[in-house]
């Protein structure tokens, strides 16, 4: 003990001892004075003073013990209460998910999302600490779990694929009141279909962890680094566990630890890289006796306890908030895909209806554009799919705005040129003139419809690049070879073939030479003129 503190302690004890002696001496003198005249009164007074002193001392001790216990109880209650802002945000997210689920038509997906939202809500109530052990199949994850809980919980083997499903066990650490659930996951990077399925399960379990124990048995490979980094990016608190150190010399251990700390620098702290030997290999002594060393996992237990004590409440709250956010994103993606399918059906219907009409009664390019490519009713129906109620006037304004953009950007001319070249390679020449406008109208209708989908998906906003950028992007996507091939194939089936059938019906009663297509009729007539 430092000298100044020792001197203060001696002086303090001296003063207290002096006060005690003074108090005893004063009580004694009082007793002597009273006892000369009234001995019984003197005795009663002494007992009364001693009783009051004892009662004072008891009250003092009781008060401070009670205060301390109250503080500890309050502290415990505070400890068991998750951070309010995060839990409130998670509850709001879950309410939003339940509202979103009502919009999902797929009953299987709807039920799955509802079940998961209920599981997250239960986790919010229970507040369990979920620790997930993650890594390759041969890194010794099950051995680590065995060592942590002090009993065999699974087959311990170096063969990959030992743990086929996520297995959860209870763990108790001193100073942590919450229940700790530790889950041994299947290994990642395993071969075959079953290995891929188990890895998918392991990754899913990892994303649900409050704390992740990522186990390796050497330096991080790229295939291990990527999932670890992805999990850190989504907010997973992780400890990197270097297992099987008994297989390396001290120099090799230090070298590997340095490499690990360097690789994860920036997303995992150096103090969160821990070296252990969960299941040390037996060795033979000079006497020939086989010895089985005890597991060396004390560094992990200490770090685990420190992290869970200091951050446990925040880890639970953060994870529940993250799970609710991810569930909301998944629900939004399902709804977005559902809306996209419905919008595509609307676009498909309008593009071929317009194409058929215009192919039969060709119009000037601008009229064709106004009639087919930017049909106002199509805009209204797509808007309704995305929850935007538009009247016919609003739809017409949007349609005209996009139609002008298509013309100003040269999309109309580009579409005519592109489809003319492609159609010449896929159909008879005599039909091209009649069909080109109809097919082009369908093509432009598709570009317009897809552009409106982007507009409604982003809450009726064209984005930073405006309507021009959206239209140009959709035009570029629609020019890809694989799309053009499929589009022209559909166009031939839905526009060209009906026209061909109509032509055959109209020419059925005509003389033989007039049953030929126009271009061939001309050739026949020229031959007759030459013969004449």
Q: What is the pLDDT of residue 419?
A: 81
Closest to 198 measured CA to CA, from 238, 162, 240: 162
Which residue carries 């609003």 as its tokens? 394
Domain ranges of the chain: 84-330, 336-531
Q: What is the pLDDT of residue 361?
A: 63
- SS3 string of 443-458? HHHHHHHHHHHHHHHC
Q: What is the pLDDT of residue 207?
A: 81
Q: Which two tokens stand for residue 58?
A: 């008891």
Q: Taking residues 507-528, what's their average pLDDT?
A: 44
Backbone angles phi, psi at 370, to 5 degrees: -65, -35
User: Does 505 have pLDDT greater than 70?
Assistant: no
Cα–Cα distance, 413 to 31 (Å, whole number): 122
Q: What percent of the chain has pLDDT over 70?
A: 77
User: Does 346 have pLDDT greater than 90?
Assistant: yes
Decide: 120 and 91 in contact? Cβ < 8 Å. Answer: no
State CA 490 to chain mean position distance.
Answer: 39
Grouping H, G, I as helix, E, B as strand and the rest as coil, residue 274 is: strand
Cα–Cα distance, 44 to 177 (Å, whole number): 52
Q: What is the pLDDT of residue 208?
A: 82
User: Does 257 have pLDDT greater than 90?
Assistant: yes
Backbone angles phi, psi at 479, to 5 degrees: -95, -5
Q: Which two tokens stand for residue 321?
A: 């908030």
Q: How far is CA 272 from CA 184, 265, 367, in A?
A: 19, 11, 69
Closest to 205 measured CA to CA, from 240, 231, 239: 231
Q: What is the pLDDT of residue 433?
A: 61
**What confidence tier does 338 reach under pLDDT thresholds 50, 70, 90?**
very high
Cα–Cα distance, 283 to 464 (Å, whole number): 68
Cα–Cα distance, 102 to 497 (Å, whole number): 43
Q: What is the pLDDT of residues 113-129, one digit of tens each?
A: 888 888 888 877 777 88
pTM (global) more than 0.75: no
| Pairwise pLDDT comparison (302 vs 510), residue with the higher score | 302
Q: Taking residues 473-488, what's their average pLDDT?
A: 87
Which residue carries 């065999």 as its tokens? 152
Q: Which of 177-191, 276-290, 334-348, 397-411 has the highest mean pLDDT?
A: 334-348
DSSP 118-181: HHHHHHHHH--EEEEEEEBTTS-HHHHHHHHHTS--S---SSTT---S-EEEEE--TT--S-EE
User: Does 512 have pLDDT greater than 80?
Assistant: no
Cα–Cα distance, 25 to 22 (Å, whole number): 5
Grouping H, G, I as helix, E, B as strand and the rest as coil, residue 242 is: strand
**What confidence tier does 281 reach under pLDDT thresholds 50, 70, 90?**
confident
Mean pLDDT, rounded, of the chain: 77
Q: Taking residues 499-527, what's their average pLDDT?
A: 48
**What confidence tier does 510 reach under pLDDT thresholds 50, 70, 90?**
very low
Please give the radius of gyration of the chain, using alpha carbons only, rounded to the nearest integer.
41
> Pairing mode, if any, of strands 167-171 and 237-242?
unpaired
| Pairwise pLDDT comparison (299 vs 354), residue with the higher score | 299
Q: What is the pLDDT of residue 372?
A: 46
Q: Which two tokens stand for residue 409?
A: 């950007």
Q: What percent of the chain has pLDDT over 90?
A: 16
Closest to 362 measured CA to CA, from 417, 432, 427: 432
User: Does 298 have pLDDT greater than 50?
Assistant: yes
Cα–Cα distance, 395 to 344 (Å, whole number): 18
User: Does 521 have pLDDT greater than 50?
Assistant: no
Closest to 335 measured CA to CA, from 513, 418, 229, 457: 457
Decide: 353 and 119 in contact? Cβ < 8 Å. Answer: no
Q: What is the pLDDT of residue 353?
A: 78
Task: Assign a CATH topology to domain 84-330.
Answer: Rossmann fold (3.40.50)
Q: What is the pLDDT of residue 270?
A: 92
Closest to 146 measured CA to CA, from 176, 175, 171: 171
Q: Taking residues 235-248, what's their average pLDDT?
A: 91
User: Does 396 have pLDDT greater than 50?
Assistant: yes
Q: What is the pLDDT of residue 271?
A: 92
Q: What is the pLDDT of residue 425?
A: 64
Cα–Cα distance, 324 to 301 (Å, whole number): 30
Closest to 94 measured CA to CA, from 116, 64, 72: 116
346, 349, 355, 357: CA torsion to nearest 10: -110
Classify 161 in phi/psi space as left (phi over 0), alpha (psi -120 to 50) or beta. left
């Amino acid at each position: 003990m430092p000298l100044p503190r020792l001197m203060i302690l001696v002086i303090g004890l001296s003063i207290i001892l002096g006060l005690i002696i003074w108090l005893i001496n004063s009580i004694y003198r009082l007793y002597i004075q009273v006892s000369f005249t009234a001995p019984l009164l003197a005795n009663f007074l002494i007992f009364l003073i001693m009783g009051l002193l004892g009662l004072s001392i008891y009250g003092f001790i009781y008060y401070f013990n009670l205060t301390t216990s109250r503080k500890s109880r309050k502290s415990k209650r505070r400890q068991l209460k998750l951070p309010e802002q995060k839990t409130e945000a998670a509850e709001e997210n879950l309410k939003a998910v339940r509202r979103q689920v009502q919009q999902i038509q797929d009953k299987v997906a709807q039920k799955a999302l509802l079940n998961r939202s209920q599981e997250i809500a239960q986790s919010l109530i229970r507040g369990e600490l979920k620790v997930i052990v993650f890594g390759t199949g041969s890194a010794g994850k099950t051995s680590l779990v065995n060592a942590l809980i002090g009993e065999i919980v699974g087959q311990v083997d170096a063969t990959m694929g030992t743990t086929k499903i996520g297995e959860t066990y209870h763990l108790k650490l001193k100073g942590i009141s919450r229940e700790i659930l530790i889950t041994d996951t299947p290994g990642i990077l395993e071969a075959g279909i079953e290995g891929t399925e188990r890895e998918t399960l392991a990754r899913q379990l990892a994303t649900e962890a409050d704390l992740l124990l990522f186990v390796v048995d050497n330096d991080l490979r790229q295939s291990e680094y990527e999932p670890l980094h992805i999990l850190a990016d989504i907010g997973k608190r992780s400890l990197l566990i270097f297992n099987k150190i008994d297989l390396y010399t001290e120099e090799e251990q230090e070298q590997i630890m340095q490499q690990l700390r360097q690789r994860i620098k920036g997303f995992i702290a150096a103090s969160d890289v821990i070296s252990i030997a969960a299941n040390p290999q037996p060795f033979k002594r000079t006497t020939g006796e086989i010895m089985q060393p005890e597991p060396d996992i004390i560094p992990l237990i200490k770090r685990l306890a420190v992290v869970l004590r200091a951050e446990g409440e925040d880890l639970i709250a953060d994870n529940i908030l993250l799970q609710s956010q991810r569930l909301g994103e998944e629900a939004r993606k399902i709804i977005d895909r559902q809306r996209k399918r419905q919008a595509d059906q609307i676009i498909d219907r309008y593009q071929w209806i317009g194409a058929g009409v215009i192919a039969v009664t060709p119009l000037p390019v601008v009229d064709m554009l106004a009639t087919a490519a930017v049909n106002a009713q199509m805009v209204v129906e797509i808007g309704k799919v995305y929850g935007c109620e538009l009247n016919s006037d609003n739809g017409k304004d949007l349609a005209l705005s996009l139609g002008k953009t298509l013309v100003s950007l040269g999309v109309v001319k580009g579409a005519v040129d592109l489809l003319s070249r492609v159609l010449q390679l896929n159909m008879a020449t005599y039909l091209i003139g009649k069909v080109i406008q109809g097919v082009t109208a369908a093509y432009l209708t598709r570009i317009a419809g897809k552009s409106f989908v982007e507009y409604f998906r982003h809450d009726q906003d064209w984005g930073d690049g405006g309507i021009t950028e959206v239209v140009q992007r959709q035009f570029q996507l629609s020019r890809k070879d694989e799309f053009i091939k499929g589009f022209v194939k559909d166009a031939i089936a839905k526009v060209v073939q009906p026209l061909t059938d109509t032509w055959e019906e109209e020419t059925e009663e005509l003389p033989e030479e007039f049953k030929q297509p126009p271009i061939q009729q001309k050739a026949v007539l020229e031959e007759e003129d030459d013969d004449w």
